[in-house]
Amino acid sequence: MPPLSDSPSNPVALQRVPIDLGERSYAIDIGAGLLDDPRSWDGLPAAAAALIVTNTVVAPLYEARLRAALANRYKTVHTVTLPDGEDRKDWSTLNLIFDALLANGCDRKTVLFALGGGVVGDMAGFAAACYMRGVPFVQVPTTLLAQVDSSVGGKTAINHPLGKNMVGAFYQPQRVVCDLDVLNTLPLRELSAGLAEVIKYGPIADAAFLDWIETNIDALLARDPAALAHAVRRSCEIKAWVVGQDEREGGLRAILNFGHTFGHAIEAGMGYGQWLHGEAVGCGMVMALQLSQRLGLVDAAYVRRVTTLIERAGLPVTGPALGADRYLELMRVDKKAEGGEIRFVVIARPGEAAVRGAPDALVRDVLAACCR
Amino acid sequence: MPPLSDSPSNPVALQRVPIDLGERSYAIDIGAGLLDDPRSWDGLPAAAAALIVTNTVVAPLYEARLRAALANRYKTVHTVTLPDGEDRKDWSTLNLIFDALLANGCDRKTVLFALGGGVVGDMAGFAAACYMRGVPFVQVPTTLLAQVDSSVGGKTAINHPLGKNMVGAFYQPQRVVCDLDVLNTLPLRELSAGLAEVIKYGPIADAAFLDWIETNIDALLARDPAALAHAVRRSCEIKAWVVGQDEREGGLRAILNFGHTFGHAIEAGMGYGQWLHGEAVGCGMVMALQLSQRLGLVDAAYVRRVTTLIERAGLPVTGPALGADRYLELMRVDKKAEGGEIRFVVIARPGEAAVRGAPDALVRDVLAACCR
């Protein structure tokens, strides 16, 4: 677990979390009012053109403001507005980005700006990884989930009908700019979904952070600026620390997928976009905790405690009744699976995760207990 | 230019050309009978499953033999057979590989084997780069062009209607296995296309190699095993030397695109698959030489000399009459273009290339001289 950085006297003043990946190192900037501040974009690679990648929901709110802030840096700023939703995170939507780049004659110095949530960030990042075999990109996450998780660490992907995030790349952004002000326009359901990924960091890496979230969950739901600032910063610190040690998920990084094996099965099984990713992760964490308990790793009180917090965050703690066979089938195509064996991220003890297999019978018990 | 390695006493005995890219280093193995020899596959990453990616033309010739040779190493060997042709190097064909991987429950240790020419290699390599964000792959090139150029160096891509190889990745294989015997089944037109990329190495990097090709062009066209072995080995040595210095084409590597700026315009302008890639490169080299002469870099005798060799190799030296405007439009989306300026690989002097812009008027002169 990384050391907790000093709390700033002004909680929403600019904080910079470095992510150390050698020549691919970059900074996560966190603060209020960053979107409109031209200084947020200083030092990015020089280019004649930029392309803002956003979606139909975010564009009316923030596209013009980002465009104005970038106008000093780039002679031309293009925009491509994608349809919204996890169910559109596919090749045909990705191709809209390539169409825009080529139709506008964008060369391989063009900088892409991902302005949106996790879906926009995943697609803009993957497009940047592939366009002319790689152009620079910047993450400008507009959801809590993207700020605390998906915009950091360089995982990009699109979905395949047979599995979530199955086609993608490890490709690091030049910078992540988290403007805390944009969280004010986030629907409550999306705020809760983001809190799932915030809560995640407690059980896997930082028991003290779990205590802090419990104390501050109401402030977070009320969008208290200082509380949100701390949650984003601490989440990014932990994620940067994990990714800095294991960029391409050879080992440690897999712990960030706590709740995701069950969660991806819920998302795919229900049809992408029915459950928000964060909702599926919230419920998936309850299942993974139940599994950890059945494996003798944590006690019932700890499972109850974290489950209560997930529920207080406004997240579902009961899974859809897809049937255990369907859950198992969906989980066998998880990227952590090896030779047909599903690998689960479990809680070895409060604040520490591990990756391991589990007997199907135990998984069926968990599903029976958690689904209806 | 890398030093010429010693000639082996048996010209088709296994030769190994190392490609030095730090932790992404690998070997190009060149020799007769490698496909059927299980030793060719020793030392590759362990996995439960392999997937052979091939096409409808190559599968009947070599798929069963590769499958048999791999049977000792992998519990399961799957095969996906793609449609043939540059005009099918697109997303929908690429997706057949992802479909096969997911339908067969392939995990992220699965090794892909690209058994075919440049199109198969480009697509299998790009699929390997993207599937679960990266699985290992091996190039088993079955055309001369793929053996001397496209299978080496980690460039993978698919085409976009607006430009060739516009969507792809730098992704290195684990190994390249060039079985010289497979060149015996190659149609003559494909052999000529491969010779374009062999000839290329002379003007850009190795004047002595150009002399050797001139002396041996008839032997190469007659598929003399010793001549083909030398051509493949020397080409791979030069390519390995260039790529080892500039993996991601920050500078030097661009010289390998000699003839390709004009050539890609021919391929896209005629419709992918009408001209073979090597044919377009052959003609494109004539154009690039004419441009070099007009820029005062080489004399007419040198241009005539290389043009004659290209023609003797069975390649077109006259371009299609697309119109200069169309050529210029197509070349402006070339990946080397910057801020709308086309960058050409020219011959600075025999055996040495450079990258530079050129006035449109000069390019129009070249096109007027070379097209009908």
Q: Is A187 exposed, middle or buried (0-12, 13-18, 19+ CB in 10 A)?
A: exposed
Final residue belonging to a domain, choices A154, A185, A216: A185
Give the CA distances from residue A287 to residues B105, B178, B189, in Å, rounded to whole numbers and listed in that order: 24, 50, 60
pLDDT of residue B9: 77
Final residue belonging to a domain, choices B153, B185, B217: B185
Examine the domain organization and report whether A181 and A286 are in the same domain. no
Number of domains in chain A: 2
CB contact under 8 A, B107 and A168: no
For residue B9, is it within any domain?
no
CB contact under 8 A, B168 and A109: no
Examine the domain organization and report whether B278 and B303 are in the same domain. yes
pLDDT of residue A6: 74
- Spell A170-183 as b/e; 16+ CB within 10 A means b: bbbbbbbbbbbbbb
Residue B41 phi/psi, 5-degree rounding, is: -110, 5
Whether B97 and B53 have beta carbons less than 8 Å apart is answered as yes
For residue A5, is it within any domain?
no
CB contact under 8 A, B166 and A131: yes
pLDDT of residue A153: 95
**A interface toward B at CB cutoff 8 Å?**
48, 91, 95, 98-99, 102-103, 105, 107-109, 129-134, 155, 157, 160, 162-163, 166-170, 248, 332-333, 335, 337-340
Does residue B352 sit in helix, strand or coil? strand
For residue B23, is it within any domain?
yes
Whether B158 and B122 have beta carbons less than 8 Å apart is answered as yes
A354 has a pLDDT exceeding 80: yes
Cα–Cα distance, A126 to A24 (Å, whole number): 16
For residue B205, is it within any domain?
yes
Query: In this structure, which amino acid lies at residue B296?
Result: G
Q: How many CB pairs under 8 A join A and B?
A: 85
Out of B63, B249, B267, B279, the active site residue is: B249
Out of B175, B239, B294, B343, the active site residue is: B239
In Å, how far is B211's CA from the nearest CA of chain A? 35
Whether A65 and A34 have beta carbons less than 8 Å apart is answered as no
Query: In this structure, which amino acid lies at residue A18?
Result: P
For residue B6, is it within any domain?
no
pLDDT of residue A3: 79
Chain A contact probe: residue of B133, B170, B246, B260 with most A CBs at under 10 A? B133
pLDDT of residue B324: 97
Residue among B154, B340, B114 nearest B256 (CA)? B154
pLDDT of residue B97: 98
- Give me the percent of chain A exceeding a pLDDT of 70: 100
Examine the domain organization and report whether B358 and B214 are in the same domain. yes
Please write down the long-range contacts of A12-15, taking CB distance under 8 Å and 24 or more positions apart.
A12/A180, A12/A225, A12/A226, A12/A229, A15/A229, A15/A233
Chain B residues in contact with A340 by the CB 8 A cut-off are 105, 107
Give the CA distances from residue B162 to residues A94, A100, A136, B292, in Å, rounded to whole numbers and listed in that order: 15, 11, 21, 27
The 3-class secondary structure across B90-133, one letter per residue, is CHHHHHHHHHHHHHCCCCCCCEEEEEECHHHHHHHHHHHHHECC
Residue found under tokens 């520490």? A352
Report the residue from A109, A168, A332 with minimal CB separation from B133. A168
Region label for A201, one of left (φ > 0), alpha (ψ between -120 and 50) or beta (otherwise): alpha
Q: Where are the alpha helices (DSSP H) in chain B?
A: 64-70, 91-103, 118-130, 144-145, 188-205, 207-221, 225-245, 260-270, 277-294, 300-312, 324-332, 360-370
Cα–Cα distance, A187 to A183 (Å, whole number): 9
Active site residue B239: yes
CATH of the domain at B141: 3.40.50.1970
Active site residue B277: yes
Residue-range definition of the domain harbouring residue A334: 192-370
Residue among B184, B160, B182, B158 nearest B169 (CA)? B158
**B interface toward A at CB cutoff 8 Å?**
48, 91, 95, 98-99, 102-103, 105, 107-109, 129-134, 155, 157, 160, 162-163, 166-170, 248, 332-333, 335, 337-340
Give A8's pLDDT tier (boundaries 50, 70, 90).
Answer: confident
Cα–Cα distance, A135 to B360 (Å, whole number): 27
pLDDT in tens, A213-246: 999 999 999 999 999 999 999 999 999 999 999 9
Low-confidence spans in chain B with pLDDT less than 70: none
Cα–Cα distance, A346 to A245 (Å, whole number): 20
Active site residue B264: yes
Examine the domain organization and report whether B181 and B192 are in the same domain. no
CB contact under 8 A, B167 and A332: no
Examine the domain organization and report whether A214 and A146 are in the same domain. no
Which of A5-9, A39-43, A58-62, A351-355 is the least confident region?
Answer: A5-9
Examine the domain organization and report whether B218 and B72 are in the same domain. no
For residue A71, is it within any domain?
yes
Handedness of CA A110, A114, A120, A121 (dihedral sign): positive
CATH of the domain at B283: 1.20.1090.10
Examine the domain organization and report whether B332 and B214 are in the same domain. yes
Residue B236 phi/psi, 5-degree rounding, is: -65, -35
Examine the domain organization and report whether B157 and B304 are in the same domain. no
Q: Is B252 exposed, middle or buried (0-12, 13-18, 19+ CB in 10 A)?
A: middle
**Token pair recorded at residue B5:** 């390695």
Residue A108 phi/psi, 5-degree rounding, is: -85, 10
Work out the number of other CB atoms within 10 angstroms of the CB of residue B243: 23
Cα–Cα distance, A236 to A141 (Å, whole number): 13
CB contact under 8 A, B102 and A160: yes
Whether B208 and B3 have beta carbons less than 8 Å apart is answered as no
Examine the domain organization and report whether A199 and A148 are in the same domain. no
Cα–Cα distance, B337 to B357 (Å, whole number): 9
Residue A72 phi/psi, 5-degree rounding, is: -70, -25
Give A195's pLDDT tier (boundaries 50, 70, 90).
Answer: very high
For residue B1, is it within any domain?
no
The mean per-residue pLDDT over the stretch A197-203 comes to: 98
- Give me the percent of chain A exceeding a pLDDT of 90: 91
Report the residue from B130, B157, B160 with minimal CB separation from A133. B157
Examine the domain organization and report whether B157 and B224 are in the same domain. no
Examine the domain organization and report whether A79 and A100 are in the same domain. yes
Cα–Cα distance, A8 to B33 (Å, whole number): 68
For residue A157, is it within any domain?
yes
Out of B78, B175, B260, B335, the active site residue is: B260
Active site residue B260: yes
**Active site amino acids of A:** 133, 155, 197, 239, 249, 253, 257, 260, 264, 277
Give the CB-side neighbour count of residue A200, counting CA atoms within 13 A: 37
Out of B55, B78, B257, B343, the active site residue is: B257
pLDDT in tens, A89-119: 999 999 999 999 999 999 999 999 999 999 9
Q: Is A25 exposed, middle or buried (0-12, 13-18, 19+ CB in 10 A)?
A: exposed
Give the CA distances from residue B95 to residues A35, B88, B124, B372, in Å, rounded to whole numbers and listed in that order: 37, 11, 10, 38
Chain A residues in contact with B167 by the CB 8 A cut-off are 98, 130-131
The mean per-residue pLDDT over the stretch A327-342 comes to: 89
**Helix B91-103 vs helix A91-103: crossing angle, to nearest 10:** 150
Residue found under tokens 């096969």? B100
Examine the domain organization and report whether A108 and A211 are in the same domain. no
Whether B26 and B172 have beta carbons less than 8 Å apart is answered as yes
Chain A residues in contact with B163 by the CB 8 A cut-off are 102
Query: In this structure, which amino acid lies at residue A167?
Result: V
pLDDT in tens, A37-52: 989 999 999 999 999 9
Chain A residues in contact with B160 by the CB 8 A cut-off are 98, 102
The mean per-residue pLDDT over the stretch A299-306 comes to: 98
pTM for this model (two decimals): 0.95
Final residue belonging to a domain, choices B157, B185, B213: B185
CB contact under 8 A, B162 and A107: no
A324 has a pLDDT exceeding 80: yes
CB contact under 8 A, A340 and B105: yes
A144 has a pLDDT exceeding 80: yes
Biggest alpha carbon–alpha carbon distance for chain B: 61
Cα–Cα distance, A276 to A190 (Å, whole number): 8
In Å, how far is B284's CA from the nearest CA of chain A? 21
